[in-house]
């Protein structure tokens, strides 16, 4: 048994949950937030067997594509004596995926 922990952008959550459900996979959804941009993320916990692990990861890769987006940044402090741009191009989307071995699991 495997536990897949997947952290994705909130923009991708509905499409990924729909795709997981359509392929027979269940997930537990946890709200989370990113540290850098302080934007909403979602963490999914997905339990699956070894044979279906790669199918789940392929779904994540297909749906949670990285993209670049202009985002507003905080103004620079006056003491810095430099002017920062009002927006910055950052990489967003994609997914951070962790796959863990599960020694035992129970459905009670």
Q: Is residue 60 over pLDDT 90?
A: yes
3-state secondary structure of 63: helix
Of residues 100 and 41, more confidence is placed in 100
- The whole model's pTM is what? 0.78
3-state secondary structure of 90: strand
Which of 101, 97, 104, 80 has its CA nearest to residue 8? 97
Which of 68, 12, 61, 63 has its CA nearest to residue 41? 12
Q: Is residue 77 over pLDDT 50?
A: no
Per domain, the residue ranges of the chain are 2-101
Q: Band the pLDDT of 75: cuts 50, 70, 90.
A: low
Quickly list DSSP for 5-60: EEEEEGGGHHHHHHHHHHTT---EEEEEE-SSS--EEEEEEEEE-HHHHHHHHHHH
Which letter does DSSP use for residue 83 in this model? -
- Rounded mean pLDDT, 15-29: 96
- Rounded mean pLDDT, 12-32: 94
How much of the chain exceeds pLDDT 90, in percent? 56
- Rounded mean pLDDT, 93-107: 92
- CATH architecture for the domain at 2-101: 2-Layer Sandwich (3.30)
Q: Band the pLDDT of 64: cuts 50, 70, 90.
A: very high
């Amino acid at each position: 048994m495997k536990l897949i922990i997947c952290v994705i952008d909130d923009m991708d959550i509905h499409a990924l949950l729909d795709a997981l459900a359509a392929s027979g996979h269940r997930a537990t959804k946890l709200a989370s937030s990113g540290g850098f941009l302080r934007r909403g993320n979602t963490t999914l916990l997905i339990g699956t067997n070894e044979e279906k692990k790669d199918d789940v990861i392929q779904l994540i890769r297909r749906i949670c594509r990285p993209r670049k987006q202009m985002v507003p940044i905080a103004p620079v402090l006056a003491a810095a004596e430099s002017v920062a741009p009002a927006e910055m191009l950052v990489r967003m989307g994609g997914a951070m995926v962790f796959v863990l071995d599960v020694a035992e699991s129970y459905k009670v």
